[in-house]
A = this chain, B = another copy of it.
């Protein structure tokens, strides 16, 4: 950066002390109307923009919130960020974001480098982190919010919903509709811990009901429409008699839906489909997808508001909603 005006220059031009300029600019403390006008005139004359780096150093409070998410291509996290960023922007807080690509090691590195900016708070996705990550989060002094999952132990604030409960509810819905030969199509559950929890609860619920999961097909890849389509194709090639399939999320389910369309598999007559997330596209399809809608944007908003507040450590369950569409 080149020369930017400084507080000292503003003070000089306005003919007042630096602290006075500081007070006026932050509208904190007291000053006369006339000094305020002088200061403001000098500020706009110089095109002065306060240096927050210096401000943060001096006040030991950084108006910066770090947000670490696994991915941005997944709309879930984009929505989360939208909610959080709106809430933070309103408070004049900037957000620094990092993308882990579902890699716990990378998350650890990212957390370390974000902490170097001494953020007032840090928001991360999920409750599963490496030991060093957890240690850093605990000792950083920054407020911590873990989002989108409440099945487990949190460091400080936890805002989300139960992925286990969602998986179980999905299984129960399919069972209650009479489906018995149920399959699963998923993406990489090793990396996406929340999808893994949904799957586990789904499978266990079926098992307890006496109708164990018939077959499953997972791919060591991120979720996408394509992976869902290919996954369902592979699953049906192996287990053609399935009557329902649970997908790791809506993107995957839309892929499955596309497969059925192109093979003229009638839905839900021949095969029922169940997704997760409640994406717009899923609800607008010719046959709206039966799925679970999650309050992602709200999680971001509530998480952000809480994390910059003085609220005590707590877990907040924002719940989810089962949307009965036309596919199951």
B-binding residues in A (CB < 8 A): 1-4, 47, 49-54, 56-57, 60-62, 64, 71-73, 75, 78-79, 81-82, 85-86, 89, 92, 94-99, 110, 112-118, 120, 135-136, 139-142, 224-226, 229, 251, 254-255, 258, 261-262, 280-281, 283-286
Contacts and interface: CB of A to CB of B under 8 A. Distances in A.
A118 B281 contact: no
Copies of this chain in its oligomeric complex: 2
Q: Which 10 A-B pairs have the closest CB atoms?
A: A1-B141, A2-B141, A262-B286, A72-B78, A52-B116, A225-B281, A261-B286, A226-B284, A225-B284, A72-B82
A136 B49 CA distance: 10
18 contacts: A4-B140, A49-B115, A50-B116, A52-B116, A52-B117, A53-B53, A53-B117, A54-B57, A64-B96, A72-B82, A81-B99, A86-B99, A89-B99, A94-B98, A95-B97, A224-B280, A225-B280, A261-B261
Contacts of A85: 72, 97-99
Given A226-B280, A284-B225, A112 B254 contact: no
Contacts of A49: 112, 115-116, 136
A85 B113 CA distance: 14
Nearest to A264: B286
A73 B62 contact: no
Nearest to A85: B99
A299 to B, nearest CB: 14
A94 B94 contact: no
